[in-house]
Amino acid sequence: MICVSIGRGRHRHVIAEHKHLADNGIQLVELRLDYIQGAVQVKRLLADRPCPVIITCRRPVDGGRWEKSEEERLLLLRTAIVEGADYVDLEDDIAMQVPRYGKTKRIISHHDFHKTPPDLAALHKKLTGLNADIVKIATMANHPTDNLRMLEMVRASKVPTVGVCMGDIGMPTRVLCRRAGAPFTYATFHDDRVLAPGQIGWRQMRDIYRYESISTATRVYGVVADPVAHSLSPVVHNAALKEADIDAVYLPFRVPAEQIDEFISAAGRWPLSGLSVTIPHKESILRHVKTQDDLVTAIGAANTLAFGEGGIAAFNTDAIAAVESLEAALREPDAATPPTEGLGVKTALVLGAGGAARAVAFGLRKRGVDVTVASRTLERSKKIAAEVGCKAVDWTARYRLPYDCLVNATPVGMHPNVDETPFDKEHLRSYMVVFDTVYNPENTLLVKEARAIGCRIVTGVEMFVRQAAIQFKIWHGREAPHQVMRDALKRATASAKQPV
C-alpha cells in the first residue's frame, strides 16, 4: 500500500487532496497537522474522510513544522484518537504519554536526519515495546549499506514495520521496503513537494516503480552513479519492464566513488540482478567483474553489469548503440538525401574526450570510419586516439577539415544551457550527418541548426534508447520494447527541469 503524505497550510486544500487521492485509488493518507496554519480542526479533517488516515504532527527536530507548544501537540494527538482517527503517529519519546483508546492504531516512530544508527535491531525492539501496532523508522542513509541494514531489519521484524532510509542514497528503500515485508511506504502528493529527503510522488511510486506489484520474488535492477537523482534510466527501464510484464524493478543507486567496492561486494544482499553503470564508476567497476565482452576490453569501461551464479559479467552497450543509431538514421530515406547502405560515412569528427566520445570513436573505428577527436583537453583526446587508433586535434582546430559526420560527445547544449552549441553553425555543411549524443533536450541548438540547413540528424534519444534496449536484452533475454522506451524518455525530458 502507498500512504500519501499531505502537507498543506489550509484545511480545504488538505481535504481536496485527500479526496483526489481516494478518487485515484489511494487507500491510506497521512495528514500532517504541523503544516496547517492557524488552529487545527481535527474533527473537520476526519469527518467524511474518503479513505483511512494517519494523523501526524511533527516537531522541527523530527523534520516537521510544528511551532506551538508540546502540550498543544499532545492534545491534538489525543483529540485525533478520541475522534476515531484510523492511525496516530507517535514519536518514541512521547508514545507513553498518549494512551491507547478505541480502535485507533498506534504507529510508533523514530527519525534520525543525520545517520542510520548502528544497532537498528535494538532501536526496533525499543519501539515495539512502546505498545506499537506498527513501527516506523526513518533514518538518513550516508552509505548504501545503511539501506541494506534497514531492509534486513524490516525483513526480520515480527511487528509490521515501515523502515526507510532518507536522502537520495536511501531512495531505493522507499520502494524495496515492500519486498522486505513493510505494510506500506510513504510518498508525497507531488514530486516537487517532498516532506522528507528522498521522497517521491505517489504517481512515480505507483506508475514508474509499480510499488503495488512488488513482492519477495521481484528482481532488482538499477543504475549506479553519483550523482544519480536526475538519471532518466529508471523511467526508461521501468516503462520497458511494465510493457513486457516482467516482475522486476529498476532503481537509482547513488553510490559515491569511495563506496563502490563495498556496494558491489554486498550485491547479493539486495539482491541485485543487473546494473547500468555510469559516472564515476565505468572504469573502476571492472576490478569486480569475472567476465567482460570484447567492447569492455577494448574501451576499458563498462556501462552494464549482469549478476549471475558464476560472478559478474560486464558489457559496454554505448558503442553499439552509437553505431546502430547512425546506421538507422542513414537508412531512413528523406527528401533531401538518398538512402545510404551500411554506415555510409567515411570521416567523422568527435567532439569531447570522455566516456561517450571514447565509445563513439571506438564504434566508428570498428566500422572503418576515419575518426578525429577534438577536445578542450588535448591530452585526453590524444589518449583516446592512441587507444582507438584515430587522430586527435586541439579544440580550436575542430573547424579545419571537412568531415562528413560530426558527433557531439560533450555536454554542451544540455539542459539548462540549451542556447549553447559546441560547433558554430557557420561551419556546418548540408552534406554532414550531425549526431548529438545529448538527449535532454533532444532538439539541441546544434540539432536545430543542422536540421535547418538540411543535414541528416541522429539524436541522443536514439542512442540512449538503444543502449538501454541492449541492456534489457542482456538482462531479460528478449527484445526490448523500443518505442515504449523512446516515448517514456521523450515524456520525461519534456517535463525535466534539471540536467540529467
Task: Give min distance, CB of 448 to ligand NAP, in A.
Answer: 16
CA 64 to CA 198: how far, in whole Å? 15
Contact 66, 59 (CB under 8 A): yes
Residue 73: all three cell numbers together? 501537540
- Under 8 Å CB-to-CB from 395, ≥6 apart: which residues? 374, 375, 376, 378
Nearer of residues 204 and 410 to ligand NAP, judged by Cβ? 410
**Catalytic residue list contains 473:** no
Task: Give min distance, CB of 389 to ligand NAP, in A.
Answer: 19
* Chain contacts with ligand NAP (rule: CB under 6 A): 279, 318, 352-357, 375-377, 380, 409-412, 414, 422, 437-439, 460, 463-464, 467
Task: Give min distance, CB of 290 to ligand NAP, in A.
Answer: 25
Report which secondary-structure segment, H or E, holds 378.
helix 378-388
Task: Give min distance, CB of 354 to ligand NAP, in A.
Answer: 2
Contact 109, 92 (CB under 8 A): yes
**Catalytic residue list contains 103:** no
Nearer of residues 100 and 425 to ligand NAP, judged by Cβ? 425
Catalytic pick from 282, 415, 436, 476? 282
Nearer of residues 101 and 399 to ligand NAP, judged by Cβ? 399
3-state DSSP assignment of residue 471: helix
Largest CA distance in the chain: 82
Catalytic pick from 136, 237, 281, 476? 136
Nearer of residues 162 and 301 to ligand NAP, judged by Cβ? 301
Contact 409, 356 (CB under 8 A): yes
Strands of 347-351's sheet in order across: 391-394, 370-375, 347-351, 405-408, 433-436, 456-459
Contact 135, 124 (CB under 8 A): yes
- Under 8 Å CB-to-CB from 459, ≥6 apart: which residues? 435, 436, 439, 442, 443, 447
Catalytic pick from 62, 89, 226, 318? 318
**Residue 417 neighbours by CB distance under 10 Å:** 14
Task: Give min distance, CB of 472 to ligand NAP, in A.
Answer: 14
Alpha carbon 306 to chain centroid distance?
Answer: 19
Task: Give min distance, CB of 451 to ligand NAP, in A.
Answer: 18
**Amino acid, single-letter form, for residue 72:** E
Task: Give min distance, CB of 303 to ligand NAP, in A.
Answer: 8
3-state DSSP assignment of residue 392: strand
Nearer of residues 144 and 363 to ligand NAP, judged by Cβ? 363
Report which secondary-structure segment, H or E, holds 321.
helix 318-331
**Catalytic residue list contains 383:** no
Nearer of residues 201 and 355 to ligand NAP, judged by Cβ? 355
Contact 229, 251 (CB under 8 A): no
Task: Give min distance, CB of 355 to ligand NAP, in A.
Answer: 4
**Catalytic residue list contains 92:** no
3-state DSSP assignment of residue 30: strand
Nearer of residues 292 and 410 to ligand NAP, judged by Cβ? 410
Nearer of residues 51 and 474 to ligand NAP, judged by Cβ? 474
Q: Are strands 87-91 and 105-112 parallel, antiparallel or unpaired?
A: parallel
Residues classed as catalytic: 111, 136, 282, 318
